[in-house]
Structure 1
């Protein structure tokens, strides 16, 4: 009873908090000091993105000089809980930052479709599909997010290896050589939150599934009983049973302890990100940009076509309760303007959604990533609902601990995927 009362008190406090957030007032011809848009995100408090927000605000001010913009940076670990309370209350921020994939699809009913409001930007930016549902788009992409396999060239050289392997069998053999000669593990992995399996599924999926299976998965026609789908989870289990991973994977947080294993030279490979934490700029600051390599997923199935998995990373959406959707959409357009996105790349090292942003001076890893985008494919885990991703995280821990079989895991995931 006491726990229920505590939960209720917390929910009431959150609802009270969001009820105090402003919404855009009714538009006027000239604008007034009372006009305001409220934006929620988890980026505006980051010093690395300061120049990005300044550029976006300056661009918006030229369009609507009488409309103030208030950015409210929320803690990421509470972000979607706070947002859920705002949605339940039907009042809160006008513009909202989302991760692509299940997080925004699960909340699309609380958002306005942007197809008509930002139509002029559709050809200029990439990554829209991650923010869509039922043929409509609900956010404009700021970054591209994906899961390259990074490797430490210095450890390869120390082990006497000139380049990454092209097949999984050769890759495992190379990992044994690296461990024997350098003491480093093959993979740096953090799966305390169940995130490691998401990265692994998307990074390795194109090396296991046939192109048709891959397309069917992304389109929602997933066959969890397929031998190739099972093979992905068998490989995940193999990384544990064969000692390819760092110790204590299920008690290691991906952010940032898992990446720290790679950064410290204790593992030769890590499945990281294209943007944000654990990306090329972040990792390169530790191992050196010239020592940071990007490799294709080692082929498991000869019929597969390994490719870079990527989607829209983060993007801004408009809440359906905003009083002037057009003004709110104009702010979204400013947050994805060319100058703003260039500043985001320069400050935070993100791969921007605008392909025109030049990354040639960033180093070989960033250039390698961008060169693979044209042949890339949507990340497999992004196609799954947040409910199924949560279940997959728990089951992946059981696979590594040996308390679940691959057949048990895919059976449960199939049932979850079917019910959404």
Structure 2
């Protein structure tokens, strides 16, 4: 009897040990992986502390896993991503812009609706990464928007009150006229890739369109030839004719030639971003915080809002490719980009406006940053975020032709209407 009990006890222990060993092997196998991340930011020195934090924390929490960042050139990013998607091969996790760039690639991304409940209320900006049914397909890591930054010293030299910002288009035109008379270029502009035109029409439209019109634009029902949008296109041409910009805008890169020109005080204003590049933190470093002002560009027509609202939306976010062989790990990694400790570093090191509402921004001292952060609770839609890729590409082309006189406003909006209609059918 004792022998039998001893045998049973020994057998049970062996079985338990074998189970633990098999379980450990299974876990090691499941966790032994390299996760490849594609983006256009991880190699930037200003964002390096953020990415170092994400990588270190994730690898420590997942022994055997290696996070590999592959930084792609921004101007070729979506072409390269399209090739990878077509081949179902390449990155496990990808960075995408909010709005149309994310939404047009939803078919290639993993639905995260049942995976992000634990961070959903803490993180903002989900709408820009959602499918038609509202399901999220990427984890937002920033809030992005557009603002006009201005050089207070150049305003003073032109006899302008540096603390008085324009509330309507007539006041902005008067400011530009006075700057021009003082020998100062009003706006820095880089439109080599068409990005300058994107920033212009989104800024001018933010307070010109009602919420119903914004929704109609997103649905492809508000045409480029509509009075509201056509007025903005006309203003694009008029501002050039009125000498708002230096010559050669079509051959000047927005990132970073335009902004370096502003930082050298060669012009008084620039339409910049709210978050992590071409923004308050960068301009503070070159012009000194007390010399950097910020305001919302007024609409060409009367504002539909009582107070001018900053155009903003979910900025960039990380999604998981459907073809990734490491779905659970990749989803966990995508979520880790929005972890509060990493987001805190993202804000402090790069000046990114974090999607994580738990990040402490109370210690910021920059006057322009305070304006930006104070605008986040109530913003206007960011129009180019909800413009189809086909329209955006055509607008880039038409915007350059409008500057060179190769087309007219009527011809340009007619062509854009055609592209919009074709995009809507897809």
Do these two structures clear the TM 0.5 threshold for a shared fold by scoring above it? yes
Distance 2:211 2:99 in 1: 21
Taking the TM superposition and a 5 Å limit, the aligned residue runs for 1:374-393 are: 374-393=377-396
Q: What secondary structure, in the 3-state scheme, does the structure 2 residue paired with 1:351 have?
A: coil
Secondary structure of 1:84 counterpart:
helix
Deviation of 1:314 (Å): 1.5
**Alignment pair present for 1:229 and 2:250:** no
Deviation string, structure 1 residues 344-397 (Cα, Å, up to 9, x no partner): 111111111123323342401111111111111221011011111010001011
Q: 1:302 to 1:88 in 2, by over 3 A?
A: closer
* 2:169–2:301 contact (8 Å) kept in structure 1: no
The yes-or-no answer on 1:410 pairing with 2:413 is yes
* Superposed CA offset, 1:312-340 (max 9, x none): 22211101012232221111111110111
Contact 1:31 1:65 in 2 (8 A): no
1:398 to 398, 401, 409: 401
The aligned runs of 1:299-338 (5 Å cut-off) are 299-305=299-305, 306-338=308-340
Tell me which structure has the larger Cα radius of gyration.
2
Range with bigger deviation, 62-71 or 81-90: 62-71
Q: Say if 1:398 and 1:404, in contact at 8 Å, map to a contact too.
A: yes
Question: Following TM superposition, by how much is the alpha carbon of 1:276 offset from its aligned partner in structure 2, in angstroms?
Answer: 3.3
Give the 3-state SS of the residue equivalent to 1:103 in structure 2.
helix
SS in structure 1 at match of 2:110:
coil
Decide which moves more: 237-246 or 73-82.
73-82
C-alpha distance in 1 between matches for 2:213 and 2:314? 22
Matched, 1:269 2:269: yes
Moved over 6 A (4+): none
Q: Provide the rounded CA distance (Å) in 1 between the counterparts of 2:88 and 2:337.
A: 24
Unaligned runs of 5+ in 2: 1-24
Match of 1:44 in 2: 42
2:171 counterpart residue number? 170
Match of 1:351 in 2: 353
Q: Does 1:366 align with 2:369?
A: yes
Q: TM-score, normalised by structure 2?
A: 0.87
**Separation (CA, whole Å) in 1 of partners of 2:136 and 2:80:** 23
TM-superposed CA distance for 1:28, in Å, is 3.7
State the SS of the aligned residue for 1:40. Answer: strand
Of residues 96, 102, 110, the one that matches 2:100 is 102
Assess, with a 3 A threshold, how the Cα gap between structure 1 residues 33 and 303 changes in structure 2: closer, same or farther: closer
Whole-angstrom CA distance in 2 between matches of 1:364 and 1:203: 21
Contact 1:168 1:298 in 2 (8 A): yes
For structure 1, which segment, 56-65 or 237-246, has the greater mean C-alpha deviation from structure 2 after superposition? 56-65
Alignment length, in residue pairs? 393
